[in-house]
Structure 1
Amino acid sequence: MTEQLTIAMPKGRIFEEAAELLRTAGYTLPPEFDDSRKLIIDVAEENFRFILSKPMDVATYVEHGVADLGIAGKDVLLEEERDVYELLDLKISPCYLAVAGLPGTKMNDVAPKVATKYPKVAEAFFREQGEQVEIIKLNGSIELAPLIGLSDRIVDIVSTGRTLKENGLVEFETITPITSRLIVNPVSYRMKDERISAMVNALSKVI
């Protein structure tokens, strides 16, 4: 019997694209897998256990060893800085982190403010630009911040740019491209290396 692999995956679009990628790589996932509302799904055919979570929590589960592997956006890995190994760029759910705000506006010279879900990434970016800013951490509706005068700029994920446009915002700078990555717990990588290496090889062939 092969060793069980526990894989943490975010709900939503990344989950759907990752499931399709696993199927293309030859893994058997039942049809109901895609529509399940369960948080833990066992796939006996492959001896997989999937943990479905918020995107920001995937790397935490992998770091602490409750999941051997995880599929996480590069944005999460940059922000969370967890003790995990990045094995593979899956090239799914492409997007990018960008600086945005109201058109025709300048940063406040005295106390510039930046609202974001990604305080570490944002602070590092502006520091590299030689700008000292006040970071305001928000958990949702980042686009609202400049509209109500909470911040001069936002740092957020951009996929199509539609949300920014609908809220009257424009992009000023691109910070970094983002795709989803296969990550592994360092101990699992040693203890279950054969199964993990086989998965990396299978996925590499179809990416």
Structure 2
Amino acid sequence: MKRDILTIAMPKGRIMEEAMEIWQKARLPIPFDLEDTRKLILTIEGEAVEWILAKPMDVPTYVEYGVADIGIVGKDVLMETEREVYELLDLKISPCRLSVAGLPQTINHEIVPRIASKYPRVAEKYFREQGKQVEVVQLHGSVELGPIIGLADRIVDIVSTGRTLKENGLVEMETIAHITTRLIANQVSYRMKQEKIKEIIERLSEVI
């Protein structure tokens, strides 16, 4: 943790684009080359702020361990990683839902032995709470393939418009949680750099 610099962990991709829009509306400083650079650590001239560009699943880890003071991350990632961080603010961007989906002919099947998901912890917990014992197969991409090729009976994945499911012959069966993007903080940083962090919270709250 750098005492005089506020370090922000930002996920690459769609969340970053939407987060930068509200960051600018809130009149908070951002690196001018954020979208074009291949650098992973960015600074802002004249500002005591540093940005770490990271994979979404890594953001809570960087924040928990204090290499980043605050971070921007989807609620789905927080649910899966279960890191010890403070959840400060719902930014209300990148809305979607974490859902169970499968082939239409399996809708009424009570026996669901195998689930494919990028969220194995969330999936296992959800089905355990339903009183169902399942085997969760972790995949890192194209989870929709699971039921199609016979690897899994159902999937647990993020659904936004539902177009990907439809194009692959799957249907959404149950919603586990509604997801938006959150501002999180390291627990020590929140105490040590409270003034800086609270200013960010206040400015963002005004434009959300």
TM-score clears 0.5? yes
Aligned to 2:12: 11
Cα distance, 1:45 vs structure 2: 3.9
Superposition pairs of residues 31-110 of structure 1, within 5 angstroms: 31-105=32-106, 106-107=108-109, 109=111
SS at match of 1:7: strand
The one-letter amino acid paired with 2:59 is: V
Unmatched tracts of structure 1, length 5 or more: none
Cα distance, 1:29 vs structure 2: 2.5
Give, in whole Å, the separation in 1 of the partners of 2:138 and 2:8.
Answer: 29
Cα distance, 1:34 vs structure 2: 2.3
Give, in whole Å, the separation in 2 of the partners of 1:92 and 1:46.
Answer: 26
Q: Determine if contact 2:28/2:200 at 8 Å carries over to the other structure.
A: no
Unmatched tracts of structure 2, length 5 or more: none
SS at match of 1:141: coil
SS at match of 2:33: helix
TM norm structure 1: 0.95
Q: Determine if contact 1:89/1:180 at 8 Å carries over to the other structure.
A: yes
Give, in whole Å, the separation in 2 of the partners of 1:41 and 1:200.
Answer: 21
Aligned to 2:162: 161
Q: Determine if contact 1:27/1:46 at 8 Å carries over to the other structure.
A: no
Superposition pairs of residues 187-202 of structure 1, within 5 angstroms: 187-202=188-203
Cα distance, 1:198 vs structure 2: 0.6
Q: Deviations over 1:153-195 (max 9, x none)?
A: 0000011111111111110101100011000000100110000
> Structure 2 vs 1, CA of residues 188 and 87 (structure 1 numbering), >3 Å: closer, same or farther?
same
Q: Deviations over 1:94-153 (max 9, x none)?
A: 1110000111225473x6110101111111111111111111111111000000000000
Residue 128, structure 1, aligned to residue 132, structure 2: no
Residue 141, structure 1, aligned to residue 142, structure 2: yes
Cα distance, 1:30 vs structure 2: 4.6
Aligned to 2:29: 28
Cα distance, 1:27 vs structure 2: 1.5
